[in-house]
Amino acid sequence: MSKDPKKEKDIKKETLVGLKNKQVSENMKSEDLYLQRAFEDMEADLSLPSDEIFHRICTRIIHEEEENPVKENIKKAEGLGAGLLERIRGLFNCPSLAWGFCAAQFVVFVFAFFMLNSSKPRFETMSYGQNSNHKQVFNVIFKKNVKFEDVVSFLQKHHMIINGPLGKDLFVIEIKNKKDIEGLKKSGILEFMEKAY
Amino acid sequence: MAAELEALIHRIASNDKEAFAQLYNAINRRVYFYILGLVKDETVAQDILADTFVEIWKSASRFEGRSKALTWIIGIARNLALKFFKRRKRLENIDDHHELRNGNAEAFAERFADIEDLKAGLEKLSWKHREILHLAFFEGFSYEEISKMLSIPVNTVKTRVFHAKKALRQLLDNGKD
């Protein structure tokens, strides 16, 4: 076994460094354990009125739930949609917001009322409304050989003469129902019939 | 333990009052101890403890299990304690306190025969230093967990632990002199 003094010195040095590191590491470990023990001791020494505090917590929770049931409903509501609905509902629980909403609705109603009943000048043609109410107006010419009584009795049933006789014995008549138009066509008393506009 | 706490929180989310009582009994001392370490005032710590549990009741449905249940709870307690600090405008900056001299790595055990000295030293630490040691050595959270909880990088956790230990050593040295 060769005894190289330099090598021997190096080995000694490495061993010492290793031992020192080991010592430091062990010190650190024991330091951490020591800290842990100190903390454990401190926790054990604590005096805490646990029951009294728990009672206080419960009272506060009950009080808050009573004061704000909406929050509780939000908590219970499952899903975002339900939560959102509860929040909207919650807005109406706030008196100032509820009154604000009523006032806004009132303004909308008043505005709509005035819009509908605004007295804007309206311009209408002379014939405006004549063709309204689904009544139809026709220009007709009766046959020459038709008796006057037949014409009168026919017209008295459902029709009304609006104008006439005009040139070429043209009458303007109003017919209320579609069926009567067909009846008039089939009656055989008309020479000519066309829709008037 | 973690799974049990998580199950309790899920039950609390559906308004289970029994589960709430169980959770309180299981962790109230630990949470209180943590808060007390921060605020160093028993009455305030008790108030914050109550606030923490009221908050747990209210926001249990928002617990998604992305972090450990205890991490989540301690996070709530921490936020409330920080709010207290803000209210009182007593936010401390650890860099402004406890000027440190370079201490060696001599173990606490070698320096102090009595653990009471160490406890006294811990009481005197700034809340940030006390908190980091509490979370790392008492609660046993990993550096990654602490990093998430405190919203700071892992390296900051490591340096804060280092500085906290150093500050503690210094406090203990001063006490000895």
Backbone angles phi, psi at A139, to 5 degrees: -95, 125
| A63 contacts in chain B (CB < 8 Å) | none
Closest CA to A53 of B76, B33, B13, B25: B25
| B9 contacts in chain A (CB < 8 Å) | none
User: Which residue of B lies nearest to A62 if distances are taken between CA atoms?
Assistant: B54
User: A13-63: per-residue pLDDT in tens?
Assistant: 777 777 666 666 666 667 788 888 888 888 888 888 888 889 989 988 888
Q: What burial class does residue B107 get, using C-beta atoms within 10 Å of its C-beta: 0-12 exposed, 13-18 middle, 19+ buried?
A: buried
Yes or no: say if B74 and B31 are a contact pair by the CB < 8 Å rule. Answer: yes
Please count the residue pairs, one from chain A and one from chain B, whose beta carbons lie less than 8 angstroms apart.
86
User: B94-120: per-residue pLDDT in tens?
Assistant: 434 433 333 444 455 555 557 788 888
Yes or no: say if B33 and B77 are a contact pair by the CB < 8 Å rule. Answer: no
Backbone angles phi, psi at B134, to 5 degrees: -60, -50
Establish if A121 touches chain B: CB-CB under 8 angstroms. no
Yes or no: say if A179 and A196 are a contact pair by the CB < 8 Å rule. Answer: no
Q: What SS3 class is residue A170?
A: strand
The one-character DSSP state at B138 is I
Encoded tokens for A77: 């509501």
Establish if B15 touches chain A: CB-CB under 8 angstroms. yes
| B33 contacts in chain A (CB < 8 Å) | 42-43, 46
Name the strands in the sheet holding A190-195, side by side, starting at the edge strand that comes first in the sequence.
Answer: A159-163, A170-175, A136-142, A190-195
Q: Choosing among A45, A54, A86, which should be mutated to test the B contact, i.e. which has the most B CBs within 10 A?
A: A54
Question: Which residues in chain A belong to E strands, given as ranges?
Answer: 136-142, 159-163, 170-175, 190-195
| Residue among A31, A54, A64 minimizing CB distance to B108 | A31
Inter-chain touch B107–A60, beta carbons under 8 Å:
no
Yes or no: say if A172 and A131 are a contact pair by the CB < 8 Å rule. Answer: no
Encoded tokens for A165: 């006789």
Residue B105: the pLDDT is 42
pLDDT at A134 over 90: no
User: A4-15: per-residue pLDDT in tens?
Assistant: 777 777 877 777
Distances (CA, A) of A34 to B57, B110, B121, B122, B159: 36, 10, 13, 12, 20
Inter-chain touch A54–B28, beta carbons under 8 Å:
yes
Average pLDDT, chain B: 82
Q: What SS3 class is residue A146?
A: coil
Establish if A82 touches chain B: CB-CB under 8 angstroms. no
Inter-chain touch B61–A75, beta carbons under 8 Å:
yes
User: Which residue of B lies nearest to A24 if distances are taken between CA atoms?
Assistant: B105
Encoded tokens for B161: 């632990």
* Mean predicted confidence (pLDDT) in A88-101: 66
Choose the most confident range, by mean pLDDT, from A91-105, A129-143, B123-137: B123-137
Q: What SS3 class is residue A108?
A: helix
| Residue among B29, B109, B137 minimizing CB distance to A46 | B29
Query: So what's the ipTM on this one?
Result: 0.71
> How far is A74 from chain B, CA to nearest CA, in Å?
11
Query: In terms of pTM, does the model score above 0.80?
Result: no
Inter-chain touch B54–A60, beta carbons under 8 Å:
yes
Distances (CA, A) of A70 to A67, A74, B61: 9, 6, 15
The one-character DSSP state at A148 is H
User: Which residue of B lies nearest to A44 if distances are taken between CA atoms?
Assistant: B29
In tens digits, what is the pLDDT along chain B, a chain of 177 residues? 778 888 999 999 888 889 999 999 999 999 999 999 888 888 899 999 999 999 999 988 888 777 788 889 999 999 999 888 887 764 444 434 433 333 444 455 555 557 788 888 888 889 899 999 999 988 888 899 899 888 899 999 999 999 998 898 888 887 665
Yes or no: say if B71 and B2 are a contact pair by the CB < 8 Å rule. Answer: no
| Residue among B29, B54, B109 minimizing CB distance to A43 | B29
| Residue among A28, A39, A61 minimizing CB distance to B138 | A39
Establish if A37 touches chain B: CB-CB under 8 angstroms. yes
Could you give the CA distance from residue B100 to residue B95 in angstroms, rounded to a whole number?
10
Question: What one-character-per-residue DSSP string does A76-88 give?
Answer: HS-HHHHHHHHHH
Yes or no: say if B133 and B118 are a contact pair by the CB < 8 Å rule. Answer: no
Q: Choosing among B44, B57, B76, B142, which should be mutated to test the A contact, i.e. which has the most A CBs within 10 A?
A: B57
Encoded tokens for B130: 């006390």
